[in-house]
Amino acid sequence: MLFLYNLVVQFAGFLLKITAIFSPKIKLFVEGRKDVFLTLQQKINQSDQTIWFHAASLGEYEQGLPVIEAVKKQFPSHKIILTFFSPSGYEVRKNNSVADVTVYLPLDTKKNADRFLELVQPDLVFFIKYEYWPNYLAGLKKRNTKTYLISGILREKQLFFKWYGGFYREALNAFTYFFVQNEKSKKLLQSLGKTNVSISGDTRFDRVATILEKENSLDFISQFKDNKTTIVIGSSWPKDENLLIDFINSNAMKIKFIIAPHNIKKEQIQQLKSSITKKTVLFTEKEGQNLADFDVFIIDTVGILTKIYSYADIAYVGGGFGNPGVHNLLEPATFGVPIVIGPNYSHFPEATALVNMEGCSVITNAKELKETFINLIRNDDIRNEKGHICETFVQMNKGATSIILKNILNDTF
């Protein structure tokens, strides 16, 4: 099966090169990997000590960031090597300040894995949440490198738990320790005979909790809000927006809307703006405008949504009408904001927990969205109580980073 896997990876690499001709995103995926080994040769000396973190994409990077920062502080003489699999992670965070070297992870061929590990020579390795690359893991095991899974999530449908997944189960033997988010993941690993596993929780709680310690003010958002009740719509997709636009256009209440779409392509932003009948301004058109005069503010840029949530009285988090589902609820939750989402959230334990605790409301159609928003807008007590539940949920689930760090310090050097 490993032989077949290697053939599939090599074929996929060939296919990606052809697809890159027609897809800008795949082109980034392919072109970004061309100079990885040259970059590593230039930035890592033989005398350097290194620690390697791997994140699939942006969400996993944000999830692992508290651990990266804590490990960097604990091992200041080591270079931090950060890899991404997806362009949506690398292109946004390639200029981060926490890592010494940030590159794409070369495709998981044996040749690439051997060359990568020979150049990096990591003392410690951290895979964040998931992505289990058999050739890289086999290389790490061969080198007896201490390798950890942090904030891990496992599900029955994964290849490890199939009768034909033997080579994939073998890859798990490379891990020194598994730090997982929940009891279910722990039991699944134990069903494979793994005893080197414990529940540490989700490091994202540590990351979002620290947001409160940062400067989150944005003068232009404050000007737009103008002390009025404000609904922030974060990471929305067209299926979310179709419901939301109807409410925005039809409501007669004096409330403000901030929309930060998941996709900020110019044509889609213009289509969104033209569908709204209320007075609307774009982030890229805000200069020279009296923002208090507008009802809707569309954020056609990236990187400021977290701060915008601090101005929300109510947050709608998008993605809940698509697959795999809802986006990050924890950022508005940490500010004590009540949250509204679509129905597809079962893959996300924090969303399930907040729904069960009634800090988060679920809607499935336009009628439910209207009723939920009006109830939250008109009833201060309900809005404040749901917001308090969200804030408390974040604060009560902090601590995964310290658990992970304590364990690895007891087991290293």
SS3 assignment for 359-385 = CEEECCCHHHHHHHHHHHHHCHHHHHH
Angle at the Cα of 358 from the Cα atoms of 354 and 359, rounded to 5 degrees: 60
Query: How many Cα atoms occupy the beta-carbon half-sphere of 377 within 13 Å?
Result: 20
What letter would DSSP give residue 21? T
* List 31, 60, 62, 391, catalytic entry: 60
Say which residue the tokens 């507008």 belong to.
294
What's the CA gap between 54 and 205, in Å, rounded? 19
361: its two tokens:
């409301």
What's the CA gap between 134 and 317, in Å, rounded? 35
Using left for φ > 0, alpha for ψ between -120 and 50, and beta otherwise, residue 303 falls in: left
Contact 29, 105 (CB under 8 A): no
Nearest CA among 285, 277, 284 for reference residue 257: 277
Q: Which residues contact 148 (CB under 8 A, 6 or more apart)?
A: 124, 125, 126, 127, 175, 176, 177, 178, 179, 404, 408
What's the CA gap between 294 and 144, in Å, rounded? 60
130: its two tokens:
């998931």
What letter would DSSP give residue 133? -
What's the CA gap between 334 and 406, in Å, rounded? 25
138: three-class secondary structure by DSSP: helix
Task: Please provide the DSSP assignment of 194-256 as one string.
Answer: --SEEE---THHHHHHHHTTS----HHHHHHHTTS-EEEEEEE-HHHHHHHHHHHHH--SS-E
Contact 402, 208 (CB under 8 A): no
Q: Which residues contact 200 (CB under 8 A, 6 or more apart)?
A: 150, 151, 179, 180, 181, 400, 403, 404, 407
Q: Is 241 a catalytic residue?
A: no
What's the CA gap between 363 and 146, in Å, rounded? 45
The residues annotated as belonging to the active site are 60
